[in-house]
């Protein structure tokens, strides 16, 4: 996978200290804090094969189809896809039913002030509520309201069903496929 860009959140190969260490964010990549980056190879990376381009194109096409489904489903429920993602990340945060603004900014790969605005819009819709941090009064905990839970349950169920329909069609390019393409380009 030499030369293949790391996505917005890629699992780290080392043993994590806690769940926050499981992902490399784009902020880490921009700051050259990528723990997956190895010493630079003095040889230039091999060019991608036609098969590599086809695999990457297929993946992006299926990803876009899923995202379009998500955008349409959220619109039908009166929320934006970002509002849905915020609700999902609050409920899906590991080991608890709430998240801080900073944690949500990382999950959404967005700036802190942008997430604060998103939370404010969701708060006006009655989807979330803010609470002062339990352990640190400077922190803000974001919790789902009953209405937020209802919207999330309906949308998450639809998203799960759509993902199940895409099994076998929505393939994430694996190292085997990309490595096979690299081997073929060497011939």
- pTM equals 0.68
- 98 and 127 belong to one structural domain: yes
- 9 and 37 belong to one structural domain: yes
Domain count, the chain: 2
Averaged pLDDT of the chain: 79
Mean pLDDT along residues 107-132: 97
- 40 and 68 belong to one structural domain: no
Q: Is 136 within the bounds of a domain?
A: yes
DSSP string for 75-132: HHTTS-HHHHHHHHHHHTSTTSSEEEHHHHHHHHT--HHHHHHHHHHHHHTTSEEEEE
Q: What is the pLDDT of residues 61-70, one digit of tens each?
A: 988 999 999 9
pLDDT at 164: 85
- 39 and 117 belong to one structural domain: no
Q: Which of 18-22, 23-27, 35-39, 54-58 has the lowest mean pLDDT?
A: 18-22
Question: Domain span at residue 14?
Answer: 1-44
- 32 and 80 belong to one structural domain: no
């Amino acid at each position: 996978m030499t030369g293949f860009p790391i996505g917005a959140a890629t699992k780290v190969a080392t043993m994590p200290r806690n769940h926050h260490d499981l992902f490399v964010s784009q902020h880490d990549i921009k700051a050259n804090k990528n723990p997956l980056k190895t010493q630079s190879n003095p040889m230039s990376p091999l060019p991608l094969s036609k098969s590599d381009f086809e695999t990457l194109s297929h993946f992006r096409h299926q990803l876009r189809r899923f995202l379009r489904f998500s955008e349409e489903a959220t619109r039908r429920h009166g929320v934006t896809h970002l509002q849905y993602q915020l609700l999902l990340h609050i409920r899906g945060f590991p080991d608890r039913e709430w998240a801080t603004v900073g944690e949500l900014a990382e999950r959404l790969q967005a700036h802190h002030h942008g997430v604060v605005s998103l939370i404010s819009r969701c708060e006006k819709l009655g989807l979330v509520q803010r609470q002062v941090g339990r352990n640190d009064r400077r922190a803000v905990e974001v919790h789902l309201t009953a209405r937020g839970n209802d919207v999330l349950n309906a949308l998450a169920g639809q998203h799960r069903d759509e993902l199940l329909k895409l099994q076998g069609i929505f393939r994430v390019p694996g190292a085997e496929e990309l490595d096979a393409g690299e081997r073929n380009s060497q011939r």
